[in-house]
Amino acid sequence: GEEVAQTPKHLVRGEGQKAKLYCAPIKGHSYVFWYQQVLKNEFKFLISFQNENVFDETGMPKERFSAKCLPNSPCSLEIQATKLEDSAVYFCASSQFGGVEQPQHFGDGTRLSIL
Amino acid sequence: TQLLEQSPQFLSIQEGENLTVYCNSSSVFSSLQWYRQEPGEGPVLLVTVVTGGEVKKLKRLTFQFGDARKDSSLHITAAQPGDTGLYLCAGRLNKFYFGSGTKLNVKP
């Protein structure tokens, strides 16, 4: 598609439950990025992929968070045993190439609310 | 602490006024991007600057990358209500680091 598509738009989970978010990058884009935006507007980088390979995972919490980008499937970000502090908007972005000038095209985000 | 500090955090001005938003760091970036984000949506790229001292113009918006590639500014001339939104700078090292944003409100 011509846009980054994130689903669902809003996800509500009880503390301790699992949450799974999906992202379909723009067709032909090789790089996918996941970010977490919390209340103070701060964007925190989580992980990036080059095709199905993890490119940079230095922002991923070591426990509970995992992500995949498999061929012919939307990318996914999964949080096990969610905590209240996981409440945030999770954005996915894609870019065609990895160069320094490459624009990132963002989806509209998934708002995760942990109750 | 944020790698990129943006100022001001909030700005409320009248239509027709000029404004400048700053993005500062002690780190040297290979590139810097400016985005605008509206409520309920993802950020949309406005510009990418790569070369120290580079100036780019996009209609009433002027972007400058510092000579040392550690800072950047966004200047808006004759602001309009349609400019209202959250402005984010993002500097690239090994990955992108975002500033904390400047919330701009332009009143008609």
**Separation of alpha carbons A72 and A7, rounded Å:** 16
Which residue is listed with tokens 């500062």? B24
- Report the first-to-last Cα separation within chain B, whole angstroms: 36
Per-residue tokens: B8: 């001001």
Q: What does the pLDDT look like over B50-96, one tens digit per residue? A: 999 999 999 999 999 999 999 999 999 999 999 999 999 999 988 88
3-state SS string for chain B: CCCCEEECCEEEEECCCCEEEEEECCCCCCEEEEEEECCCCCCEEEEEECCCCCEEEECCEEEEECCCCCEEEEEECCCCHHHCEEEEEEEECCCEEECCCEEEEEEC
Strands A105-106 and A88-95: antiparallel
Comparing B15 with A100, which gets the higher pLDDT? B15
Question: What are the chain B neighbours of A48 within 8 Å (beta carbons)?
Answer: 95
- Per-residue model confidence (pLDDT) at position A22: 98
Q: What does the pLDDT look like over A89-107, one tens digit per residue? A: 999 999 998 777 788 999 9
pLDDT-flagged residues of chain A (< 50)? none
Chain B interface, best mutation among A40, A50, A100, by max B CB count within 10 A: A100
**Cα-Cα-Cα-Cα dihedral sign, residues B85, A43, A111, A104:** positive
Exposure b/e, A69-94, CB count within 10 A at least 16 = b: beeeebbbbebeebeeebbbbbbbbb
**Cα-Cα-Cα-Cα dihedral sign, residues A62, A67, A68, A69:** negative
- Per-residue model confidence (pLDDT) at position A111: 96
CB pair distance less than 8 Å for A40 and B100? yes
CB pair distance less than 8 Å for A41 and B30? no
- Per-residue model confidence (pLDDT) at position A1: 65
Residue B2 has pLDDT above 80, yes or no: no
- Per-residue model confidence (pLDDT) at position B1: 63
CB pair distance less than 8 Å for B48 and A48? no
CB pair distance less than 8 Å for B43 and A106? yes
CB pair distance less than 8 Å for B45 and A105? yes
Question: What are the chain A neighbours of B54 within 8 Å (beta carbons)?
Answer: none
Chain B interface, best mutation among A9, A90, A106, by max B CB count within 10 A: A106
- Per-residue model confidence (pLDDT) at position B26: 93
